[in-house]
Amino acid sequence: MVAAAWLPTNSSITKLFNGQFDIDSDSWKVALFLSTSNIGASSTTYAGVTNELANGSGYATGGVAVTLVLSGTNPVKIDFSVDPVWTASGASLTFRYAVLYEVGGDVLAYSLLDTTPADTVVVDGNEYTLRAHATNGILLATWS
């Protein structure tokens, strides 16, 4: 499934520009969160985001490791090198948000996965692949 637009947190662009985030060498993860999560523009750390999907049924707390890549010069796109995948096992997985964060640190961006908005449900035995926007990736920066 293609995620809805990825939204940077209020502080993430500054962290990109001041070098706190290093897209192609930091360790990154994507975690899944429930509709009751507090994820939003003012979120800062992964630890401060509430109501992650529970461990089990094919999901591990903390999410899955991803590698980010940069491409282009103007615009510059941040994207997944390989799209993250979860497989429901033993029960369905139900979630609403994906959160991209630096391991041991701060949130870079988040996505509301169904713009209805409604929960995303992955039935037992099925796979969910999170794809960034084909043109815009996770984040797209353009200079004029």
Would 43 be classed as within a structural domain? yes
User: Is 31 inside any structural domain?
Assistant: yes
Q: How far apart are CA 59 and CA 39, in angstroms?
A: 19
Average pLDDT over residues 39-67: 97
Report how many domains make up the chain.
Answer: 1
Q: Is the separation of the CB atoms in 119 and 105 below 8 Å?
A: no
For residue 82, being part of any structural domain is answered with: yes
Instruction: Provide the pLDDT for residue 2.
Output: 58
Contact 90, 56 (CB under 8 A): yes
For residue 143, is pLDDT > 90?
no
Residue with tokens 């990109």: 16
The yes-or-no verdict on residue 62 having pLDDT over 70 is yes
19 versus 1: the higher-pLDDT residue is: 19
Could you read off the pLDDT of 87-118 as tens digits, one per residue?
A: 999 999 999 999 999 998 899 999 999 888 89
Is residue 1, in this structure, part of any structural domain at all? Answer: no
Q: Please, what sign has the CA dihedral across residues 40, 45, 51, 57? A: positive
Q: Which residues span the domain enclosing 83?
A: 6-141
The Cα 86–Cα 89 span in angstroms is 9
pTM of the full structure: 0.94
Within a domain: residue 17?
yes
Q: Is residue 93 part of a domain?
A: yes
